[in-house]
Amino acid sequence: MIVGVPKEIKNHEYRVGMVPASVRELTQRGHQVIVQSQAGIGIGFADKDYVDAGAEIYADAASVFAKAEMIVKVKEPQAVERAMLRQGQILFTYLHLAPDAPQTEDLVASGAICIAYETVTDNHGGLPLLAPMSEVAGRMSIQAGAQALEKSNQGRGMLLGGVPGVEPAKVVVIGGGMVGRNSALMAVGMGADVTILDRNVNVLRSLNAQFENRAKVIYSTAEALEKHIIEADLVIGGVLIPGAAAPKLITRDHISKMKAGAAIVDVAIDQGGCAETSKATTHQDPVYIVDDVVHYCVANMPGAVPRTSTFALNNATLPYIISLAEKGYKQALLDDQHLMNGLNVIDGKITCIEVAEALGYPHHDAATAVKA
């Protein structure tokens, strides 16, 4: 198969779909890998490193898209990239379609086979291609939140851990999955007063076993959410209903009742955000204020630590990239129901039910659509 790796073009996005070591795994198996010039420069890989791994370097994205049978990326394709997709071409990347009608429309129109990292599943009820970036974003959320609380960013002017004789900040983590657990780990480590809310009792048990008395673990009801959000200095939004738009658990009313200078880091922004007041921001201009509450809503947080993130992402994606290249998409998907769950759009049909429901498209059975 001819596998193409374009350079990412989202704001301050320095990750890359494949590191040279992953390229070598494909070229050793007889596949052709074409990489856009400078695609890996943000994480310290020169074109020569890719050439040494057996790749060919193409000057621009247009030639990579024109030649490749499968495009491997990190972030959802931007409008100019969507325009380069074609019927029958495989796109393997994060998509986050439910809150993104224009992207969905373009992918449907393209006729491409669009497999989303974030809806690929595993045997343990997890999301193995989302998990590594959620670990990164969860850990980063506390760094971002600590900065948002600084006075120069219009925050309350609080240190997360306080100092002897002065109370620490109250950090409220909504959603105790990959993001939430990693976020709580950092917040506890910095000495903050941490509360985690989730509505899955098994998740609550496991969080309690991990954090013991270093974090409060609370069942997430509307009442509990309101109480803890209003009392918080920093709220981390880490909820997810896989494939679906994020539930708006932080309402406009909660925001108006929060303390002036409190902060929200809405990690779930890539699925539309879990605060009614959230709108996506960029690393260049990450925060804005609503009702005196600082909002950080960067949809590609791991892009800021691209070296850590690219390696972590590639460790997870490589087996699937190899499977798609070796078997072709039909066999790879039909052989592996977990990869099939990643299929969101094929030949103009939406096969992810949450996306179809969120955006009012008919839903098609994935296996039937693949066999067609």
Report the distance separating Cα 333 and Cα 347, nearest Å. Answer: 15
Least distance (Å) between residue 130 CB and ligand CC(=O)C(=O)O: 6
Q: Give the C-alpha distances (Å, rounded to integers) separating 142 from 104, 128, 138, 188.
A: 32, 23, 7, 10
Binding range to ligand CC(=O)C(=O)O, per CB under 6 A, among 33-41, 219-227, 297-305, 348-356: 297-305
Distance of CA 5 to the CA centre of its chain: 19
Closest CA to 276 of 253, 260, 299: 253
Of the candidate residues 129, 207, 236, 240, the single one contacting ligand NAI (CB under 6 A): 240
Determine the straight-line distance between the first and last CA of the chain, rounded to whole angstroms: 21
Q: Is 95 annotated as a binding residue?
A: no
Q: Does the annotation count 31 as an active-site position? A: no
- Interaction between residue 12 and ligand NAI (CB under 6 A): no
Q: Give the C-alpha distances (Å, rounded to integers) separating 321 from 5, 113, 118, 129.
A: 12, 14, 15, 12
Of the candidate residues 3, 160, 179, 184, the single one contacting ligand NAI (CB under 6 A): 179
Which residue in 233, 266, 270, 336 is the catalytic one?
A: 270
50 contacts 73 by C-beta, under 8 angstroms: no
Report the distance separating Cα 47 and Cα 166, nearest Å. Answer: 52
Question: What does 238 bind: Mg ion, ligand NAI, ligand CC(=O)C(=O)O, none (CB cut-off 5 to 8 Å by kind)?
Answer: ligand NAI
Question: What does 174 bind: ligand CC(=O)C(=O)O, ligand NAI, Mg ion, none (CB cut-off 5 to 8 Å by kind)?
Answer: ligand NAI
Question: What does 185 bind: ligand NAI, Mg ion, ligand CC(=O)C(=O)O, none (CB cut-off 5 to 8 Å by kind)?
Answer: none
Of the candidate residues 138, 243, 302, 342, the single one contacting ligand CC(=O)C(=O)O (CB under 6 A): 302
Which H or E run includes 190? none
Question: What does 240 bind: Mg ion, ligand NAI, ligand CC(=O)C(=O)O, none (CB cut-off 5 to 8 Å by kind)?
Answer: ligand NAI
Closest CA to 365 of 121, 117, 352, 113: 352
| Interface contacts to ligand NAI, rule CB under 6 A | 118, 127, 130-131, 133-134, 137, 174-180, 197-200, 203, 220, 238-241, 246-247, 249, 267-271, 298-302
